[in-house]
Each structure stands twice: as structure tokens, then as C-alpha cells.
Amino acid sequence: MSTDAKQLVESLACWQGTVDAHPLDGGITNVNFTVEDNGEKFVVRLGGDIPVHHVMRFNELAASRAGFAAGTSPEIVHAEPGVLVLRFIEGHVFGEEDVRDPAKLEQVVELVKRFHEEAPKHLRGPALIFWVFHLVREYIHVLREGNSRHTGKLQGFAKIADRLERIVGPIDLVFAHNDLLAANIIDDGAKLWLIDFDYAGFNSPLFDLANLASNNQLSEDQERWLLDTYFGCPPSDGLWRAYSAMKCASLLRETMWSMVSEIHSKLDFDFNTYTAENLARFERAYATFSTEVDI
């Protein structure tokens, strides 16, 4: 933990009394703390823009405020450059096994769909678009320029991304979360909350659904149920094909995100292992997809 970061958090002007900041583990993009002040508890997120990952803090702030207005996300009580202070949600942080639980998965789908439909009504100011295939192409440039140890894989990734993008085809747009890791969902016992909007932006709903499935290792039956529940009817062959392509793209993006983080992140995290785990998941998913679709 950085002493400077702790001192910065404790010196914020929003506190009513003297506070003691405690590190909050789990984040792999930002540095996070919890703070108790005047009988209330808060989360403080520290982090500036991260251009290599297209993380822009004005966008995160706008998405967080829209999520709160939509009833899906905690309130922002203070913001300044590089700092967000949110009300702490007392509850159970999801793990992958929670997302795979059928009853909880149904609640998660309702939460995600509500965010898609309601958050844009409250979104203010400029907003980003999150297009996974653009990110993959950008990561290829970043990795080459950074002399990544993965340079030999990049030409193959580019060809795969082009194929997947063609198969996805035309899309509808929603305002999406785009980082549906289990840990970004909290159950307070009465409702679920969606947190962490570093990558929020307009996107196809298929990306959030595919991202949810790939990050939490849903079964094929659960994936088909996911599409049926979200869209209100069983998926057609075309929708299933587009969704499956998006799932491969989601896994490829997570893999390349980690590859880029290996050479650019200053956080104390084992990105090499994270890369290996996600690369294996991507390769399995793409191999399965390739046997089902003529690409």
C-alpha cells in the first residue's frame, strides 16, 4: 500500500472528521480504500485516465451517476480528478459460483437489463463507445510498440478478430457495463448492485451477456437461457452465432488487456498468470466455436 495514497484519501475535503483509510483488496485497475466517517462507510477509488485501456474518468463518473439514478449502483458522494468516493454497500461480493446459481443468475440478468434500459435516460455529457474489435486492434499496436513477449501471437489475433467481427454483424446499441466480472456485483440481501464503471460505454447487449458468461464460466444451457431471458424468446441460429462470436471476442479482449497490463500496469498483481488463464479460456472457446461455424 502506498503511504502517499493513504494520506491522499485521508486528506479529502469531503470528510466531516478525522478518518483512517483501509486498503480494499480485489481491484486490478484502481487502488481502493474504505473509510468510515461520521457513522457512515465509503469506498474511495483512486485512478487517473488509462489511455492504453481507453479508461477515461469523466466517462466512469457519468456512468456511475447514471447507474445510481437508475437504481442499479451506489451513490457518488464526492469526485475530483483521480478520485471517486462512493457510499459503501454492505453485502456479499459475488464470486463466479454465485453468478452460476440459477436463482441469482436470474437476478443478475434483471440487473444488467435494467442498467441497459434505464441508465441512458440519466446519462449526462459526452459518452464513449466500447467496441471490442477496435480495442483488440488498438491492443495489437500497443503490444507491438511495447515489445511485448506476446508479439508472435498478434497477427493471428488480428485475423481472428476480423472473422469474429464479420460474424457478429450489425448490432443494436445499449449503454453497457462491459466488465461483468463476478466481483462487480454485490448482494445486500434485498437487491443486487452493479459497481465499477471504468469500461462503460455504448455497445451491443451481446457483449455484456457474452462477457458475463465467459467471465463466470456459464454452461451452454445457461447461456441459451440467458439469451432467452434477456430477449424474451429462444435464440435463433443467427443470434446464437453472433453471441458465440462475441463471447470469443470478450475472452480475447480480456487476454490482451492482461498482456497490455503486463507492460503498463504499476499495480502489484500477477498479470502473467492472469494472461495464461485467460488465453487458455479463449483458445478453448475459439476452438469450440470454429467447429460449429464455418470461418
pLDDT at 294 (0 to 100): 62
Share of the chain above pLDDT 70, in %: 99
pLDDT at 27 (0 to 100): 72
> Taking 80 as the threshold, does the pLDDT of residue 156 lie above it?
yes
29 and 151 share a domain?
A: no
pLDDT at 113 (0 to 100): 98
By residue range, what is the domain housing residue 72?
A: 3-87
CA–CA distance, 279 with 283 (Å, rounded to integer): 6
* Residue 118 pLDDT class (50, 70, 90 cuts): very high
Point out the domain boundary residue: 87, 113, 136: 87
266 and 279 share a domain?
A: yes
CA–CA distance, 11 with 5 (Å, rounded to integer): 10
269 and 255 share a domain?
A: yes
78 and 100 share a domain?
A: no
Number of domains the chain is built from:
2
137 and 10 share a domain?
A: no
99 and 196 share a domain?
A: yes
> Taking 80 as the threshold, does the pLDDT of residue 147 lie above it?
yes
140 and 231 share a domain?
A: yes
Residue 71: CATH number of its domain: 3.30.200.20
pLDDT at 210 (0 to 100): 98
> Taking 70 as the threshold, does the pLDDT of residue 1 lie above it?
no
CA–CA distance, 44 with 47 (Å, rounded to integer): 10
212 and 156 share a domain?
A: yes
Point out the domain boundary residue: 59, 87, 115: 87
Point out the domain boundary residue: 40, 60, 87: 87
Q: Are 37 and 21 in contact (CB under 8 A)?
A: no
**Predicted confidence (pLDDT) per residue in 22-56, tens digit:** 999 877 778 999 999 999 999 999 999 999 999 99
35 and 103 share a domain?
A: no
pLDDT at 293 (0 to 100): 75
197 and 121 share a domain?
A: yes
62 and 198 share a domain?
A: no
**Predicted confidence (pLDDT) per residue in 70-113, tens digit:** 999 999 999 999 999 999 999 999 999 999 999 999 999 999 99
pLDDT at 187 (0 to 100): 98
147 and 48 share a domain?
A: no
